[in-house]
Amino acid sequence: MKKTIRITGKYLWIPITPGAKDSIVSFYYENEKIQEICIETGEEEPCFYAWYDARDYQGGSIMLEGDYEESWFEHVVVRDEKPCNPGKSRPLIHYAPEFGWLNDPNGLIYHKGLYHIYHQHNPYGVRWENMHWAHTSTPDFLSYTQTEDVLFPDEEGPVFSGTAILDQNNCLGFGADTIAYFYTSAGRRSHWSMDHWFTQKMAVSTDHGKSLNKLEGFVLPHIKEENRDPKVFYHKESDSYIMVLYISDDTFYFFRSTDLNEWEKIQEITIPGMWECPDFFPLVCEEDGVKKWILWSADGYYCVGEFDGKCFLAQKNKEGDGIARYQLYDIIRDNTEKADRNVVRPYAAQTFQETGDRIMQISWITSVKKDRNYAGILSLPGELSLTASSYGYRICISPAKELVKLRRESFETVIKDREDQKSGPGCASLYSGEGQALELELTFRDSRELSDTGDSYIKLSVFKTLLLIDLCSRKLTVGPHRILLPEEKEYHLRLYADLDVFELFVCKGLTYAVTDNESGSVSGSVEIEYSGIRGSIQLHVLKKIRISESIGVE
């Protein structure tokens, strides 16, 4: 079916009915195809509206062509304002888009006093499809400015993940303040792009990250299957640019360039269990000052090694017959050792460029809730460090220092184990309130004597989500997660409780987990029950982050 609509306003409202049939709808202006989207086109009153920015076509007409019904088209309208859809508000301390599906963070870079965050985005529904790059920026992770999307699908494919780099050597000729963005053009992932393959491409911004312009040609042509997700950075020691690219299965290629244009393959590495969304960065160990390079992949698996600009030499496992692979995230597995992808989890984390000695990371949290206008949120910013332990070098993640400024008011409770065990465990009510996100810091230790046979545990109920810390078995249980704690004299746990999810930093960041807020609410109480424990709890009531929408690009 073909229908033409006169563009008399700024936005074309696109009716969406989740669960209805999929339709491929193409947009044409003066007989030229300008967009193709896959959406759910129902025949009834739509559940909500997405929007298409039609300001460049005002005064003209756009033709919509697709297998939609006449009744669906009747709900397509043109307005000067974006639609305001009913639904619950966004999380209080986590970033979520105003509307649509969010996944992998892309192109993270600190530039001119702002952290620029791009991410995979479907602006036409709350499921994975129609991959764009959305953009938001923040000076402090407390207030965000969300703009319109900045990279769009075209005839070569949807826009998949990638990275950003400051072209400080002016290799591209646009000036030393230019930001270059490397991304995957995902050919054959849309009807429009069936004549193309997965290739690596580049866009640039000459206005400090506000708008991105695609460059012609390939950075890398198609190599194999769905090769994707380029990570690019400048390696000062070898005065060269390095790209790490996911190829297929568990294989990555390393490339080298001196000008960001011509790339030569320098290494191929295979690591069982690691795949897509690579990151590659150095960390200096706090204890001994040793510098190590980290190869990271989507599920939070990583390996540690040396890099000289030409070859990444990863540490071997104990048996010496393969690369040692570790994991920062706690993810439940089935009997096949495969991650359960139905569990809410952090995924596809990336680090920011241009942050100096600070290695800062955010990830996609795969939270999908009903009655939301969005699906998926970004994690809180984390700061990575390297620690030396009896079992080798390991990554730790801690909440970024900026998050301390979220604290509005704080309370402290001392945990004292009751001398008379027969009187039962200790109990306390820590908090009761409405509509506030919380941060909890627990420092605790086993207070039992060696001869004691009683329990040593903490039961913490936060808005009806239960956390159980059992020091007899050294195990922490929250939602579907079972986290084994190392044997230490004192334990530290930090919890952020928000509307959709909880983020949990355990043992000074050696383990990191995300789980559902089972109640879907931040109203109610925080209760504690404990036995055989001594320590303290700090509870912080948090301020809400501020997200503003900027219409268009300045």
Secondary structure tally for the chain: helices H, strands E:
1, 43
Residue type, 339: A
> What's the burial of 478, exposed, middle or buried (CB within 10 Å: 0-12/13-18/19+)?
buried
Tokens of 242: 């390095």
Q: What value, to the nearest 5°, has the Cα angle with vertex 466 and ends 464 and 468?
A: 160
Tell me whether strands 100-111 and 374-375 are parallel, antiparallel or unpaired: parallel
Distance CA 348, CA 158 (A): 18
Residue 327, helix vs strand vs coil: strand
Q: Which residue is it, tokens 């949120």?
A: 377
Q: Which of 231, 491, 505, 487 is nearest to 384 (CA)?
A: 505
> Of these residues, 53, 67, 80, 104, which one is catalytic?
104
Distance CA 251, CA 271 (A): 7
Strand order in the sheet with 198-205: 159-166, 179-186, 198-205, 213-214
Distance CA 384, CA 434 (A): 33
Does the annotation count 104 as an active-site position?
Answer: yes
Residue 319, helix vs strand vs coil: coil
Q: Which of 66, 221, 198, 213 is nearest to 152 (CA)?
A: 213
Tokens of 326: 């570790």
Active-site residues, by number, are 104
